[in-house]
Chain A
C-alpha cells in the first residue's frame, strides 16, 4: 500500500541532522493581527505547520492527535492535496510540546475544521512559494509552470523537484492565507477513501501505542489508590512491600501511594500488597444512587437562559410535558490509561495519550512545581479515547514515580479497577421538556437541562485538574466547574433544537457540586439533550397523530436537515403510519451536532424479548451530511462507530455506585455491547464539496439513543424516559 509510514522512530532518526528553528509563537499579540483561518490564527508561521525536506518529502506538524479516529490520515490527505505531493512523501508529526503547534485539545469534532483548515491554507501558500522559486530559477513567469507529484515543470521541459528547492525556501514567515486553495473539483486525494496509515502496524503487532513504548532501563510503576474518593492514607507496611522481589521504590506523598519495580508483574503484586496493608480514613460519602437525580436537582446551581423567543400563544393549545434522565457513564477504554515518564537533569519527558499535550504540560508544571519549559509532553496513541479519561492522570502518576527514580524511565499502566473507579465520568443529567400543540404544530416550547460541568480537563488556569495532585501532602485544588458558551455549549450542547419554534424558552442549569468525578465524555451533553428532545418530538407527533418523519419535516426549514431525514427514510424504506407489533418497532431521530456541525438522521429497527425485557437493535440506517467529505471510509467508520457505541450506552451503560464509592470496577459490573448485539449499519453520505468539512465523531450518538427509545415506544406503546433501557426497566414499563 502507498500510505506513508509515520513512525516516531523514523522521525527521531531524521531529527539528528536537522536544526529546528521554526517558531510556534508569533511576537505580536493576537489582537493586533488580521484573523487567519482555522488554527493558523493562533499558530501563524508557515514553518510551524510545514517543512520541505531536501529528500523531496514534506513534514507536517499538527497539534491534533490520533485517537483512533483516523485524523492523521485525513490531515495528511489535505496537506498532500494542496502541496501536490504524494501521500507517501509526507511525514506527520503530531502533539509534541517540543515541536508542534499548540492546538489545545483534540476534542469536540473540531480537528478537521481547525487543523485541516490551517494545513489547507498553509499548504496552498507553501506550494505557491515553491512555484515562485522555480519561476525565478527558470527565468519564466510563474503561470507557465505546473506542479505534480512534488515536481515543478516548465513548458520547455525543465523540471525541479521540491527537494532541490528546500535549501532556498524560507517558510519562517507569517502565513498570509491569501493563496486560494484548490477547488473541490480539482481534488485528487481529498474525498477519496485513502487507507488509514496506522492500521497495518495495529493488525500485525507493530509498535502502535504508548503501551508499547520501551526505553532502556525502564521500570514499571503502579499506584495504590484509595478505596473511595477523598480518603486519607493513615498507614501502610512500607518495609514489607519494599522487600518484595524486584521492588525498587515505594513512593508516598501524602495520600498518593505508588510503587516501582523492575518487572511489570512485580509492580502489580506490590500494588496488591500495598492495597492490602494500607489503612485509610475518611472519604466522601456519595448520594443515594436510587435518588441521584433528585439529589442533583437539590444542589445550588447557576441558571442561564440560552434561548428566548417570544410569540403569541394561541388559545386552546394542548400542553405536554416529559422529564428524561441520563445516568453517569464511563469512557471505559479497552486498554487502561498508560504513560511513560523520565526525569533527567531537572527535565521531565512524558509519553502520553492525552488529548492535549500543551494543556497537560501547563497543568503538570503546576502539580509538580516545575517550570513548564522543563517538561516535554509527547503524544503517542493509546487505546480508544472518547473524551477526558485517565490519560492525563496517569501521566502525572508516571511523573511522580519517575521523579523518585533519578533518570530511569517509569512506565505506569492503570489496572482495570483504577480506570473504572477513577476516570472522570460523563455526568448524570435531567432534562425537562414542556410544549404545547395546536393544529398539529408546536406553538410553545420550554426546555430545561440540569447538569454538572462537562469539562474538568487539564489546562484550566484556575486550578490543577489532575487526580494525583489532590492527594499530595500539599494538595492542589481542582479548577472551579464551568459551563461553555452556546452555540457549542457543554451540558446544554444541542439543548436548542433546530426546529422552527417561534415561541421558546430554554434554560441551562449548571450544578456546581460534583458528587462523582466528571468531565468530558464524547458529545458532552448532546447525547442526553438529543435523546430528550427527539424522544419528545415523537411524543408530540403521537399526540398530534402525525407520522414522526412528516412531523419533523413540517417543523424544519433548513434544507440540509430535511435532506438527511428524507434520505434515511428512503434508505430504510420508512412507511408513514407503520405501527409496531409488540415485539418489533422502528424509530427515527435527527440532530445537527452542536447545532452548527454535522447533520445526522438515524432509523433503527428494534426487537424486544418481552419475557426478559431484553432489547436488540439488529439494524440501523443513517444519513449524514458533514459538508465536504475528506475521506468517505473514515467518515462511515466514525458514524457507524458512533451508532454502535451509542447503542451500547443506550441499552447497557450506567456507572454503579453506593454511598461509599464506585461499584463498577470491571466489565462484569459495567457491561458493554457485544459483537452479537451490534446493529448492522447502512450509512448514506451526502457529499457537499462546496461546504466546509465538519467533524463527525460525535454526530450520531444522540440520534441513535432517541431512535432506539422511539422504536421501543413504536413497538410497545410504552415510553421509557430514563437511560439506559436495561431489561429490568423495560420489563417494569411493560408490566
Chain B
C-alpha cells in the first residue's frame, strides 16, 4: 500500500554511491595521472608535443617518501603536505582541522617527529620520511597503539584520534613507560572536542604496558 517504487529513481544514484569511497578504475586513473612512482620517471630528453604538459608537471614533481614508499607528486612546492597526503595519496588518516597548527588533527611523523602537516610545505620535506597513521598498522594488523584505542573504545567522533595516536607514537618511542602526567602533558597541544580525554590517556597507557610485554 502506498508504495513509492524507488528502484528507477535510485539506480543512477547508486553508481555514485558505489564510488563514494572507492578506489575504482576512474579514480585510480586520476591518481596515476598525478602521482608517478619513482620507477617510471620519464626521460625528459625526448619530449613529444602531445605530452609536453604532463611531462612539464612531472618535471616539477617533488619526491616524497611516505610510509616507506617513494612517491613523485605533481603539486606546487608550497602545497601543505596534508593535501598531498589526503588528495593525491588518498590517505584519510591526517585530518584538516584548522590549517593553523593549533589543533593537531593533521599530525604526521617526519623522521619520527610529530609535525603539523597542514602548514608544512612539501618542498621543505626533503629526504625526511613521512609516517602517517596508515603506516602504523591496519584494521587486520593494528599497531599496539591502535589496538589500545580499540580496546579502550577511545573515540567518540574520532576526528582528533589520528593526531592523538601519532603524537603518542613518538612519546612511546622516546619514553616506553611514561607516567599519566607525561601522557597528558604530551597530548595537551592536541585538541579533543567530544570529551574523550580520559579514554585517550588510558589507551596510551595501555599501549605503554604492552611495550613491556612484547
| Chain A residues with a Cβ under 8 A of chain B | 1, 7-9, 11-13, 15-16, 19-28, 67-70, 98-99, 172, 174, 193, 195-196, 198-209, 211-217, 220, 245, 263-265, 268, 332-336, 340, 342, 344-345, 347, 349, 351, 373, 376, 378, 380-386, 409, 413, 415-416, 633-634, 637, 640-645, 648, 666-668, 672-678, 680-681
**Given A68-B155, A264-B86, A672-B193, 7 other A-B residues pairs in contact with their CB atoms under 8 A:** A12-B20, A203-B146, A207-B92, A215-B19, A264-B87, A349-B17, A386-B193
Residues from 177 to 214 in B contacting A, C-beta threshold 8 Å: 181, 183-185, 187-201
A209 to B190, CA, bound (A): 19
Interface pair A203/B158, CB less than 8 Å apart? yes
Which chain B positions have C-beta within 8 A of A201?
139
B128 at the A/B interface (Cβ < 8 Å)?
no
Please, what's the 1-or-0 string for B72-111, where 1 marks a CB less than 8 Å from any CB in chain A? 0001100110010011001111011111101101000000
A195 to B155, CA, bound (A): 11
Interface pair B16/A202, CB less than 8 Å apart? no
In the complex, which of the residues B133, B149, B199 contacts A205, with contact meaning CB atoms closer than 8 Å?
B133
Which chain B positions have C-beta within 8 A of A213?
20-21
Which chain A positions have C-beta within 8 A of B195?
640-645, 648, 678
Query: A9-B21, A205-B134 are contacts. A415–B3 as well, Cβ < 8 Å?
Result: no
Interface pair A334/B21, CB less than 8 Å apart? no
Interface pair B7/A20, CB less than 8 Å apart? yes
A206 to B162, CA, bound (A): 11
The chain B residue sitting closest to A7, CB to CB, is B21
Interface pair A216/B26, CB less than 8 Å apart? yes
Interface pair B194/A68, CB less than 8 Å apart? yes
Number of B interface residues in the complex (CB < 8 A): 84
Listed A/B pairs (15) with beta-carbon separation below 8 Å: A99-B10, A199-B155, A205-B93, A205-B132, A205-B162, A263-B79, A263-B87, A265-B76, A268-B99, A334-B157, A334-B160, A381-B157, A386-B193, A672-B193, A675-B190
B138 at the A/B interface (Cβ < 8 Å)?
yes
B24 at the A/B interface (Cβ < 8 Å)?
yes
Give the interface centre of B5, B97, B188, B201 by most chain A CB atoms within 10 Å. B97
B12 at the A/B interface (Cβ < 8 Å)?
yes
A640 to B133, CA, bound (A): 26
Which chain B positions have C-beta within 8 A of A335?
95-97, 105, 157, 159
Which chain A positions have C-beta within 8 A of B7?
19-21
Query: A205-B132, A376-B13 are contacts. A675–B194 as well, Cβ < 8 Å?
Result: no
Which chain B positions have C-beta within 8 A of A200?
139, 142, 150
Which chain A positions have C-beta within 8 A of B174?
none
In the complex, what's the smallest C-beta–C-beta distance from A344 to chain B, in angstroms?
Answer: 8
Give the interface centre of B30, B87, B95, B96 by most chain A CB atoms within 10 Å. B96
A672 to B105, CA, bound (A): 15
B69 at the A/B interface (Cβ < 8 Å)?
no
In the complex, which of the residues B21, B98, B150, B184 contacts A1, with contact meaning CB atoms closer than 8 Å?
B150
| Chain B residues with a Cβ under 8 A of chain A | 1-7, 9-10, 12-14, 16-22, 24, 26-27, 30, 75-76, 79-80, 83, 86-87, 90-93, 95-100, 102-103, 105, 132-134, 136-139, 142, 146, 149-150, 153-162, 165, 181, 183-185, 187-201
Which chain A positions have C-beta within 8 A of B137?
204
Query: A205-B91, A384-B193, A667-B191 are contacts. A216–B153 as well, Cβ < 8 Å?
Result: no
A141 to B141, CA, bound (A): 48
A673 to B142, CA, bound (A): 29
Which chain A positions have C-beta within 8 A of B18?
9, 12-13, 15-16
**9 A-B pairs with the lowest CB-CB distances in the bound complex, closest first:** A68-B157, A205-B93, A644-B195, A27-B2, A384-B157, A641-B195, A202-B158, A678-B197, A12-B18
In the complex, which of the residues B27, B86, B165 contacts A203, with contact meaning CB atoms closer than 8 Å?
B165
Interface pair B4/A204, CB less than 8 Å apart? no
Query: A203-B155, A334-B160, A415-B99 are contacts. A217–B26 as well, Cβ < 8 Å?
Result: yes
Which chain B positions have C-beta within 8 A of A336?
96-97
In the complex, what's the smallest C-beta–C-beta distance from B79 to chain A, in angstroms?
Answer: 5
Interface pair B155/A196, CB less than 8 Å apart? yes
In the complex, what's the smallest C-beta–C-beta distance from B208 to chain A, in angstroms?
Answer: 16
A211 to B105, CA, bound (A): 13
Interface pair A641/B14, CB less than 8 Å apart? no
Query: A98-B13, A200-B139, A202-B161 are contacts. A644–B198 as well, Cβ < 8 Å?
Result: yes
A20 to B157, CA, bound (A): 31
Interface pair A342/B14, CB less than 8 Å apart? no
Query: A68-B157, A205-B134, A333-B193 are contacts. A9–B22 as well, Cβ < 8 Å?
Result: yes
Query: A201-B139, A384-B193 are contacts. A216–B19 as well, Cβ < 8 Å?
Result: yes
Interface pair A645/B193, CB less than 8 Å apart? yes
The chain A residue sitting closest to B91, CB to CB, is A205
Which chain B positions have C-beta within 8 A of A1?
150
A680 to B202, CA, bound (A): 11
Interface pair B188/A680, CB less than 8 Å apart? no
Interface pair B201/A347, CB less than 8 Å apart? no
Which chain B positions have C-beta within 8 A of A351?
20
Interface pair B193/A675, CB less than 8 Å apart? no
Interface pair A675/B155, CB less than 8 Å apart? no
A340 to B7, CA, bound (A): 23
Which chain A positions have C-beta within 8 A of B98?
416, 666-667
Query: A12-B20, A204-B134, A666-B100 are contacts. A68–B158 as well, Cβ < 8 Å?
Result: yes
In the complex, which of the residues B12, B20, B79, B196 contacts A637, with contact meaning CB atoms closer than 8 Å?
B196
Interface pair B92/A349, CB less than 8 Å apart? no
In the complex, which of the residues B91, B153, B183 contacts A633, with contact meaning CB atoms closer than 8 Å?
B153
Which chain A positions have C-beta within 8 A of B156?
68-70, 384, 637, 641
In the complex, what's the smallest C-beta–C-beta distance from A66 to chain B, in angstroms?
Answer: 9
In the complex, which of the residues B6, B17, B149, B188 contacts A378, with contact meaning CB atoms closer than 8 Å?
B17
Interface pair A667/B30, CB less than 8 Å apart? no
Which chain B positions have C-beta within 8 A of A7?
21
A200 to B139, CA, bound (A): 6
A19 to B3, CA, bound (A): 13
Which chain A positions have C-beta within 8 A of B102?
416, 666-668
In the complex, which of the residues B2, B100, B149 contacts A667, with contact meaning CB atoms closer than 8 Å?
B100
Interface pair A172/B3, CB less than 8 Å apart? yes
A12 to B79, CA, bound (A): 34
Give the interface centre of A15, A25, A206, A265 by most chain B CB atoms within 10 Å. A265
The chain B residue sitting closest to A201, CB to CB, is B139
Which chain B positions have C-beta within 8 A of A28?
2
Give the interface centre of A8, A204, A216, A645 by most chain B CB atoms within 10 Å. A204
Interface pair A202/B87, CB less than 8 Å apart? no
Which chain B positions have C-beta within 8 A of A633?
153
The chain A residue sitting closest to B74, CB to CB, is A263
The chain A residue sitting closest to B196, CB to CB, is A641
In the complex, what's the smallest C-beta–C-beta distance from A68 to chain B, in angstroms?
Answer: 3
Interface pair B6/A98, CB less than 8 Å apart? yes
A413 to B193, CA, bound (A): 18
Interface pair B200/A342, CB less than 8 Å apart? no
The chain A residue sitting closest to B190, CB to CB, is A675
In the complex, which of the residues A26, A212, A342, A415 contacts B16, with contact meaning CB atoms closer than 8 Å?
A342
Which chain B positions have C-beta within 8 A of A643?
195
A24 to B3, CA, bound (A): 8
The chain B residue sitting closest to A644, CB to CB, is B195
In the complex, what's the smallest C-beta–C-beta distance from A367 to chain B, in angstroms?
Answer: 20
Query: A27-B1, A206-B139 are contacts. A199–B150 as well, Cβ < 8 Å?
Result: yes
Interface pair B196/A203, CB less than 8 Å apart? no
Give the interface centre of A207, A263, A333 by most chain B CB atoms within 10 Å. A263
Interface pair B21/A207, CB less than 8 Å apart? yes
Interface pair B21/A195, CB less than 8 Å apart? no
Interface pair A265/B30, CB less than 8 Å apart? no
A356 to B181, CA, bound (A): 41
Query: A198-B158, A203-B149, A674-B191 are contacts. A20–B6 as well, Cβ < 8 Å?
Result: yes
The chain A residue sitting closest to B146, CB to CB, is A203
Query: A196-B153, A383-B157, A678-B197 are contacts. A212–B92 as well, Cβ < 8 Å?
Result: yes
